[in-house]
Amino acid sequence: MNVWIYLLLVIIQLAVTYPTFSATCSTANGIGGVVYLFHHFLDVYVFWAFLFLTTRREHLVHLLVIVMVAIHWLTNNYECIATTYMNHLCGYPRDTWLDSIVNRIRPFYYTHIVWLVALVGYDAWFYVHRF
Type of residue numbered 74? L
Three-state DSSP at 88 gives: helix
Are residues 40 and 17 in contact, defined by beta-carbon separation less than 8 angstroms? yes
Count CA atoms within 13 Å of residue 118 on its CB side.
10
Confidence of residue 107 (pLDDT cuts 50, 70, 90): low
Confidence of residue 18 (pLDDT cuts 50, 70, 90): confident
Burial (CB count <10 Å: 0-12, 13-18, 19+), residue 59:
buried
The Cα 5–Cα 8 span in angstroms is 5
Q: Which pLDDT score, from 0 to 100, does residue 131 have? A: 59
115-124: per-residue pLDDT in tens? 888 888 888 8
Q: Which of 100, 52, 59, 107 is nearest to 80 (CA)?
A: 100
> Helix %, strand %, coil % for the chain, to 5?
75, 0, 25
- Average pLDDT of the residues in 10-39: 86
68-81: per-residue pLDDT in tens? 998 998 898 888 88
30-86: per-residue pLDDT in tens? 888 888 899 889 989 998 888 888 888 898 999 999 999 989 988 988 888 888 888
